[in-house]
Amino acid sequence: MSRVAKKNQGDSTRDAQALEVLFVDKARHILLTSIVVTLSVTTADRLEAQIFTAEISRLVTNAEHRLQTTGTRQTRRFELSLDDAIERALERNLDIAVQRINPLVQDLGVASANAAFLPLFQTGFGVNRATTPSRTQLDGGRSSGSSAIITNRGNYDFGIGQQLKWGGGQYNVGWDSNRLESTSRFSNFNPSYGANMSVGYTQPLLRGFKTDNQRRQLVVSQINRDISDIDLEETIANTLADVRAAYWDLAYAVAAVSVQEQSLELAEQLVRDNQARVEIGTLAPIDVVQAQSESASRRQLLAQAVQTLRTSELTLKRLLVGGTNDELWNAEVTPIDQPFISPTLIDIESAVRNALDRRTDISRIRSQRDINDVTVDTLRNNTLPSLDLVSQLQLTGQGGTQLVNAGLGGPTVVEIPGGYRDAINSIVDTDFPIWSVAVQMSYPLGQNSDKAEYARARLQLQQTEVQIRQIELQIATEVTNAALQIDAIQERIDASTAASELAEEQLRAEESKFEVGQSTNYFVVQAQRDLSTAQDTELRAILDYQKALIEFERVQRTSLSRAGISIVGAGSATAPTAGNSQ
């Protein structure tokens, strides 16, 4: 059967139950009216009224039977302990599952920010052939044959560069190789092999030395990664607190149903006893009507308790399942653990210190303050002059077949063999070095945007310090209030337990007096009501005590509201890029 069909069937069942309850109430009202009429009519009419009353009673009994049959659920039962509920929540709760993905997302953010400091490799390869006419003798064209100059060129280069995290420096290493073959008479090497190696390093001395926007982004992404772990811890702590509270809510609802069932049984027993007394003539029929009316009222209270039970069960299920296809979703959950009441001594000062050290919201705030500190340092660094040390070293090598000509543009007299190895040896021997060192400086005159951003960030940083003290005061208030609630509820439990015992004794006394005719039906019913109310109040106090303990533990670890502070803006200023020396 589909979920939609099951839902429709469930809605129809609830509608039928509502109609049956309404029918029972109406029937009892008619029954009450008929009995009153019975007392006031003549003997002939009284017989007909009794027949009518018997018929109504039969209809009421049938309606109650159908209501009970309809309300019976043929479902699987799960007996669940509190530890089992916590384990299921850790494994299947969807809120926790969603939050567990955030640290993985932040890991990718850290990797993205760290990519700016990874080495960058570049390479290239190319070939070229050029044919140009020789217009003058200085063009180098041959005297015989074609006057065109044919040049074949091939080149290959590669290099690597990287921006360093420490000091903000940047280096570049490159290697360039080429081969040139030409028909020009002026070529000293043909083919000619050339090689060049260059090493450059740029070091910021003021602005960009301690920090810059890229290093700030890396640190911020790492802090955000830590914050995602804090958020996960907060979600787990709040979810487990909700599971404990929902578990005890369900346990209370089960006990409340038992109390209402006991109260209903007392009322129905009173109805049976009164009917027996009416038959022997020691009680007026109107007392039976009063007892039946009280029984109907308590049946309504029982229905409300059952409804609260189903709602509490659904609340707990939502925290324990991973979807509607979970085996627990359509099962009936029965809590098997009972609340344990023991006097609890609370050290409020120790609890406040523990909360200020461990709570997830204060940990998040401290991490956010670290982000603000990093941002302010970056903005402060951006106000400094740009002073860069730029250094460059270049080594050149030459090789190939060397041509010795007879004068300028003359015929080749001697060919000295050579190749690419000669160019490499020239670089190794540093035959043709070129080096340079330069210092470059730039500084804007007047009030620039960097100084304005830094001044604004300092004001925001002062504001965040006040926000932190405000949140610390809120934490101390929450912990203190939770501790006071435990003390107050312990007194409620003692008082409600005594009241429940006294109400039970009062009921026994009224029943004994009623047996000997010294009390009335009204006082017995009232004593039953008092006992039911006292038992429910005791259960509520025990539930509130368990939830107060849960809340006291939770406020020392986390907060329901994800508190935070203002994040200082990083501005749009970026450090200028140093130029390359020529």
pLDDT of residue 18: 44
Residue 573 inside a domain? The answer is no
Let me know if 356 is exposed, middle or buried by CB neighbors in 10 A (0-12, 13-18, 19+).
middle
Question: Shortest CA distance to 339 belongs to which of 514, 545, 45, 92?
Answer: 545
Contact 418, 362 (CB under 8 A): no
Residue 569 inside a domain? The answer is no
Contact 115, 148 (CB under 8 A): no
Q: Which of 442, 459, 489 is the last residue of a domain?
A: 442
The residue written with tokens 């009222």 in the block is 297
Contact 532, 263 (CB under 8 A): yes
pLDDT of residue 138: 66
Pairing of strands 332-335, 77-80: parallel
The pLDDT tens digits for 85-122 are 999 999 999 999 999 999 999 999 999 999 999 999 99
The secondary element (H helix, E strand) that includes residue 88 is: helix 82-92
Report d(CA 150, CA 43) in Å as an integer.
Answer: 141
Pairing of strands 120-133, 332-335: unpaired
- Mean pLDDT, rounded, for 225-248: 93
Residues 4 and 63 placed together within one structural domain of the fold: yes
- Mean pLDDT, rounded, for 454-483: 89
The pLDDT tens digits for 494-511 are 898 899 899 888 888 888
The secondary element (H helix, E strand) that includes residue 126 is: strand 120-133
pLDDT band, very low/low/confident/very high, at 577 (cuts 50, 70, 90): very low
Question: Shortest CA distance to 437 belongs to which of 394, 484, 481, 386?
Answer: 394
Per-residue tokens: 301? 């209270």
Q: How far is CA 202 from the centre of its chain?
A: 43
The vertex-295 CA angle with 294 and 296, nearest 5°, equals 90
Amino acid at 201: Y
pLDDT band, very low/low/confident/very high, at 573 (cuts 50, 70, 90): very low
pLDDT of residue 137: 62
The pLDDT tens digits for 320-363 are 999 999 899 999 999 998 887 777 788 899 999 999 988 998 88
Contact 114, 214 (CB under 8 A): no
User: Is the pLDDT confidence value at 451 over 80?
Assistant: yes
Lowest-pLDDT range of 355-364, 371-380, 525-534: 525-534
CB-based contacts of 102: which residues, under 8 Å, 6+ apart? 228, 231, 232
Residue 33 inside a domain? The answer is yes
Residues 126 and 189 placed together within one structural domain of the fold: yes
Question: Shortest CA distance to 353 belongs to which of 466, 483, 472, 237?
Answer: 472
Q: How far is CA 468 from the centre of its chain?
A: 22
The pLDDT tens digits for 386-408 are 999 999 999 999 988 887 776 66
User: Is the pLDDT confidence value at 6 over 50?
Assistant: no
Residue 61 inside a domain? The answer is yes
Residues 126 and 183 placed together within one structural domain of the fold: yes
Question: Shortest CA distance to 60 belongs to which of 268, 261, 270, 265?
Answer: 268
pLDDT band, very low/low/confident/very high, at 569 (cuts 50, 70, 90): low
User: Is the pLDDT confidence value at 16 over 50?
Assistant: no
Q: Which residues of 203-218 are buried (b: 16+ CB within 10 A; e: fewer)?
A: bbbebbbebbbbbbbb
Q: What is the DSSP letter of 288?
A: H
pLDDT of residue 571: 54
The residue written with tokens 């020789």 in the block is 134
The pLDDT tens digits for 148-200 are 788 899 999 999 999 999 899 999 999 999 999 888 777 788 889 999 999 99
pLDDT of residue 42: 36
Query: Which residues, in sequence order, are bridge partners of residue 79?
Result: 334
Report d(CA 528, CA 506) in Å as an integer.
Answer: 9
Residue 192 inside a domain? The answer is yes
Residues 129 and 199 placed together within one structural domain of the fold: yes
Look up the domain containing 3 and give its range. Answer: 1-72
Q: Which of 407, 425, 442 is the last residue of a domain?
A: 442
Residues 8 and 65 placed together within one structural domain of the fold: yes
Report d(CA 31, CA 47) in Å as an integer.
Answer: 15
- Mean pLDDT, rounded, for 485-498: 88
Residues 55 and 126 placed together within one structural domain of the fold: no
* Mean per-residue pLDDT of the chain: 81
The pLDDT tens digits for 197-229 are 999 999 999 999 999 999 999 999 999 999 999
Report d(CA 574, CA 86) in Å as an integer.
Answer: 50
Q: Which of 418, 442, 466 is the last residue of a domain?
A: 442
Residue 66 inside a domain? The answer is yes
Residues 186 and 125 placed together within one structural domain of the fold: yes
Lowest-pLDDT range of 137-146, 307-316, 399-408: 137-146
pLDDT of residue 224: 93
Contact 227, 368 (CB under 8 A): yes
CB-based contacts of 438: which residues, under 8 Å, 6+ apart? 389, 390, 391, 581
pLDDT band, very low/low/confident/very high, at 453 (cuts 50, 70, 90): confident
pLDDT of residue 418: 84
**Higher local confidence (pLDDT), 180 or 50:** 180
Query: Which pTM value belongs to this model?
Result: 0.72
- Mean pLDDT, rounded, for 47-76: 51
Residues 123 and 203 placed together within one structural domain of the fold: yes
Phi-psi region of 490 (alpha: psi -120 to 50; beta: other; left: phi over 0): alpha
Indicate the SS3 state at residue 156: strand
Domain count, the chain: 2
pLDDT of residue 25: 52
Report d(CA 96, CA 235) in Å as an integer.
Answer: 6
H/E/C letters for each residue in 384-431?
CCEEEEEEEEEEEEEEEEEEEECCCCCCEEEEECCCHHHHHHHHHCCC
Residue 47 inside a domain? The answer is yes
The string of DSSP codes covering 207-267 is: TTTS--HHHHHHHHHHHHHHHHHHHHHHHHHHHHHHHHHHHHHHHHHHHHHHHHHHHHHHH
Question: Shortest CA distance to 456 belongs to which of 556, 376, 368?
Answer: 376
Amino acid at 563: A
Residues 66 and 146 placed together within one structural domain of the fold: no
Q: How far is CA 109 from the centre of its chain?
A: 17
User: Is the pLDDT confidence value at 31 over 50?
Assistant: no
How many Å from the N-terminal Cα to the C-terminal Cα in the chain?
81
Tell me the Cα Rg of the chain: 46
- Going through 409-500 in order, the beta strands assigned E by DSSP cover 412-416, 432-442
Report d(CA 258, CA 69) in Å as an integer.
Answer: 19
pLDDT of residue 71: 45
Lowest-pLDDT range of 61-75, 174-188, 191-205, 234-248: 61-75
Residue 413 inside a domain? The answer is yes
Per-residue tokens: 511? 């029943």
Phi-psi region of 140 (alpha: psi -120 to 50; beta: other; left: phi over 0): left
The HSE-up count of residue 317 (CA atoms within 13 Å, CB side) is 21
Q: How far is CA 505 from CA 265, 455, 498, 502, 512, in A?
A: 18, 76, 11, 5, 11
